[in-house]
Amino acid sequence: MRDFLTRLPNVELHLHIEGSLEPELMFALAKRNNIDLPYATVEEAKAAYHFDDLQAFLNLYYQGMSVLRSEQDFYDLAMDYFQRASQEGVVHIDMHFDPQAHLQRGVAFDTVMAGLLRAKQDAEASLDLSVGMIMAFLRDRPADEALEVLEQAKPYWASLDAIGLDSAERDNPPAKFAALFARAKALGLARVAHAGEEGPADYISQALDLLDVQRIDHGVRCLESEALVRRLRESQTVLTVCPLSNVSLNVVDDLRDHPLPRLLAEKLKVTISSDDPAYFGGGLLTNHLACAEAFGWGEGVFRQLNRHAIEEAFMREDRRQALLQRLAEVSAQ
């Protein structure tokens, strides 16, 4: 199964680049920037990667990104993940990044973008990899601030594929950001949003109705509403499900109890991603292997999941058709 999954043209739609910061790189960047970490060793840092809920993870997540200061730091962060993912058979990544989290620390917007865009350019030139750019906004920050950041990003609008909505979901409904998403739509940007992870099924409906999103990130709690499941099935709105993330954050207690099999049985358009792989146990290949073991999935399920991801990824149409052809060739072997 590992060999088969590595040969597939794997596509990841839900990846937070700041969440790919492995402890080894964290320590290297901390040394480069003369930053003291609250851990004495890499092993001690890894031992801290246990969370009771989303907020506990976010606290560590924001602490970890404190080592990101320069353009080179952001470049190294992204290239580190791009290289690891490519070695595991990933051929496209839709990458979320969180400018507000860096602006709050005094890191200039241009610094973030220069590093990430240079990494994207180099990865696309040197690896069998394409990269979509999703500028995500923190839902536990003010909506007016998000609008200001979107306008600040004007020099980079042409480099963005979409905007997203992430961070603490509880008590931060999608409705709060209706004006932001309307502005992004007017600019011609695609729109995605985290919904139905810790928040209720109604947050998924709000994201669809009030934010006019093309994609729901997570979405596992849609099963709480039969009407919503019907709607998602009829519209074939993609759900970017992150199984090991859901276990790590106690959305489910055990992967074997995850609703993924039921989501597929309901004929929903599901994909699998790693979310924040440094914190949640591994990248896309690790998530695929864990699902194969937990659910007894065969090769056909993973072909289907990757077909969904290729169809929905933010990529050039010629790239999409080439990857669909490669998927068909692997399937025929």
Q: How far is CA 65 from CA 20, 35, 37, 42, in A?
A: 10, 11, 11, 15
Cβ 67 vs Cβ 23: under 8 Å:
no
Hey, what are 309's tokens? 């991801």
CA angle (69 as vertex; 184, 244 as ends), nearest 5? 65
Q: E-assigned strands of the chain?
A: 10-16, 90-97, 130-138, 162-166, 190-195, 215-218, 238-241, 270-272
Are 260 and 241 contacting, i.e. CB atoms less than 8 angstroms apart? yes
CA–CA distance, 272 with 295 (Å, rounded to integer): 14
Within 10 angstroms of residue 173's Cβ, the number of other Cβ atoms is: 18
Residues 6+ positions from 25 with CB-CB distance below 8 Å:
76, 77, 80
> Is the distance from CB of 239 to CB of 201 less than 8 angstroms?
no
Whether 197 is a known active-site residue: answer: yes
User: Cα–Cα distance between 184 and 190 in angstroms, integer?
Assistant: 7
Helical pair 226-235 and 201-210, crossing angle rounded to 10 deg: 40
Select which of 12, 18, 22, 197 is catalytic: 197
As annotated, the active-site residues are 197
